[in-house]
Structure 1
């Protein structure tokens, strides 16, 4: 679960910024902290980069939702369940970048509790999982193309052609938000 230690998170970010930026760049991650008592959100530079926000944007839930794919903006019930059960959570969603590309994100979060057991903060690690998601989509398309009854089983040439068409269709759908 969470730690009971309180510290000034923005100052921690300041002191460790060089190391944090190195890790965020290498691992395609960002960190978000929500101070529940003060209702204040703090983003690392990685969050700004992952969500394609200008550094002048004030960290907020609305700013994150602004970049989230409309189909993925539904109420994030997974967070409420994690709080009620005092467990960590994982969630995936799409982000629409300024150039209209789609980025797949994984949010892994955990609530921190004070000495009285009251929720004090929420820490969330955001990870760019676009490459992993794309590979997964390609594997699903390839698996579907191999199933009996699918047009791709006619012959090897058609299999390759249909599979490539399916992959291209998946990519086009992601770009067009279908």
Structure 2
């Protein structure tokens, strides 16, 4: 290595060190967390959920206030979301099994009414599938889904309090343990 290369490397190293020091000293606000999950017991997003009236896959308006007083598992999903589609058979089994007697499972679709209706007809989902369109993303953000990722699932107790949120494909063993605590 000759002296010219060594000098060039030294200059580049000094520039990087100076840049790092500048950024470090001028960084005032830390980055927001990727997912700001509401603490257990938070009820404001649940109240917003109960105020919603959403059409089902056939276009029939469904007031979510009808589920007050019952434990709920609210699954935000989309037909184009692979993990969403993968967990739906297990959610259907959950809704139609023993747990479904104590728990209302609802799917809130983030897509067009046509796409959700076609999907529902094809897959014969056993729980209510509602259409929220892109406003469903905003509703999921109120529950702590800061990035709007899917699937996003919220477990709400019969007392109207958020018990737990799940980002990504559900782990049903974990979910069943959480359901046992309701």
Q: TM-score range by the shorter chain?
A: under 0.3
Normalising by the residue count of structure 2, what TM-score does the alignment of the two structures yield? Answer: 0.25
Q: As a proportion of its length, which structure holds more strand?
A: 1
Q: Which has the higher contact order (CA 8 A, sep 6+)?
A: 2
Higher gyration radius (CA) = 2
Normalising by the residue count of structure 1, what TM-score does the alignment of the two structures yield? Answer: 0.26
